Amino acid sequence: MKEYQDLVVNLHYTDICNYRCRFCHSRFGRTPLGLEEWKRIVSNITRDVDVRRFNLAGGEPLAAPFAQGLIDHIHGLGIPVSVITNGSLLTPSWIDANRNKLSMIGISVDAFRHEDNCRLGRVNGAGQSLSMSRLGELARAIHAAGIRLKINTVVNRVNCRQDFHALVAAVRPDRWKLLRMIRIEGTNDHADDLLVSGAEFEAFAARHADCRPVVENTADIVNAYIVVNPMGRLLDNTGGRYRETPSLLDHSFGKVFPSVAFDRRAYERRYKAA
């Protein structure tokens, strides 16, 4: 029996992103590893872990040149794969080609007006954001492919008083997750003007309760994820800053994971809600 059972592992395998979201807490500064190294990391994880699912994230995961190769490799191991993306590089043809390889595609949607996306930095170098018509097209393709659709929304100063009912009704996500913006020292602490209070976050969730969102306040996020950064290192976010382990490229999961501040109860609450 493997040492750790039934875990979802988040691989932030790239820091490359075509957006510059001001509140993003997944900026790590480097993308030094390639496909063969990530295959080795996956092997070093699965040696000790009964992995329920690998969730691929970034940065923007589809911006990495080896994204498809990593999906194919994990799928070939018989382990479910999901992807969290800003949606800008998704196409219906890519979705269809991966219909039997992905269990879920998550799209981050924090605003539905272009001007609000600009305020948040959710635009590419040409100043383009994901339009609602394009989001609808992608949602239809995901549903048609038989892949579960998740929408992630970070509640922040720009969107906390807005109404997302029409958006949720239009795209029909299987899961809508609300996350309160979290502050990580040295990563997104330049965007304190976008933080919301607990009361504001709870009011947003209460207004949308009929949409049955999965709600994650700050306390629900701290040390409740298993995160591997682009250097292949496990992270914890104790005290509002990242702390990292030695790389899983050279060390087994079982050796380094005990040094991570991991809240198993918070983790289980998250995935029970899911």
- Residue 226 makes CB contacts below 8 A (sequence gap 6+) with 7, 8, 9, 10, 234, 260, 262, 267
Distance CA 273, CA 241 (A): 26
State the total domains in the chain.
Answer: 1
Domain at 8, CATH number:
3.20.20.70
Closest alpha carbon to 273 in 197, 223, 217, 206: 217
Q: Domain residues for 260?
A: 4-273
Give pLDDT tens digits along the chain (274 positions): 788 899 999 999 999 999 999 998 887 877 899 999 999 999 999 999 999 999 999 999 999 999 999 999 999 999 999 999 999 999 999 999 999 999 999 999 999 999 999 999 999 999 999 999 999 999 999 999 999 999 999 999 999 999 999 999 999 999 999 999 989 888 888 899 999 999 999 999 999 999 999 998 877 777 888 999 999 999 988 878 889 999 999 999 999 999 998 888 888 877 765 5
